[in-house]
Amino acid sequence: MTGLLGFFAAGYAGLLGLWALTAAGSGARLGVAFLASLALLELTLLVRAGFAVAGLASERVYAEPAVHLAYAIASVTLLPLLAALTRPGSDPRSRPGDRWDALLAAVACAAIIVITLRLTATTR
């Protein structure tokens, strides 16, 4: 179950990363639909991290428990950090960083892919 959830999260993060790269290339804003998609990804990562912590609490054997926990924490904290770094100001017209925000979102999605696959790899 957790492996399937991990691969879904990695694939979904890949699609969102492609969406962000497309928006960065065209200079378009990411918009509310992208934020809602990121919220769904965060929910998926929270469920995955919950399974990871429950597995650690139930004495399930992991290759490296500390590294597994660190990956679970990193997967959950990356998207809120992205939201904090790209939060728009009071006047959206005065914000020239839309392209950089989209590139930052694409990099965060790539990092989530790597973290999710490493989280899956540390599970036996």
Note the pLDDT tens digit of each residue in 62-89: 778 888 889 999 999 998 888 887 765 5
Domain residue ranges in the chain: 2-87+96-121
Asked if the model's pLDDT at residue 90 lies above 70, the reply is no
- The dihedrals phi and psi of 87, each to the nearest 5 degrees, come to -70, 130
pLDDT of 100: 82
State the Cα–Cα distance between residues 104 and 82, nearest whole angstrom.
Answer: 8
Q: Average of pLDDT values for 26-48?
A: 89
pLDDT of 88: 57
- The Cα angle at residue 33 between residues 17 and 82, in degrees rounded to 5: 50
Asked if the model's pLDDT at residue 121 lies above 50, the reply is yes
State the Cα–Cα distance between residues 82 and 99, nearest whole angstrom.
Answer: 14
How crowded is residue 18: how many other Cβ atoms within 10 Å of its Cβ? 12
Which pTM does this prediction carry? 0.85
Q: Which residue has better confidence, 42 or 4? A: 42
Amino acid at 14: G
Q: Average of pLDDT values for 39-55?
A: 91
pLDDT of 95: 54
- Between 31-57 and 65-85, two packed helices, what is the crossing angle to 10 degrees? 160
DSSP class of 88: -
DSSP class of 92: G
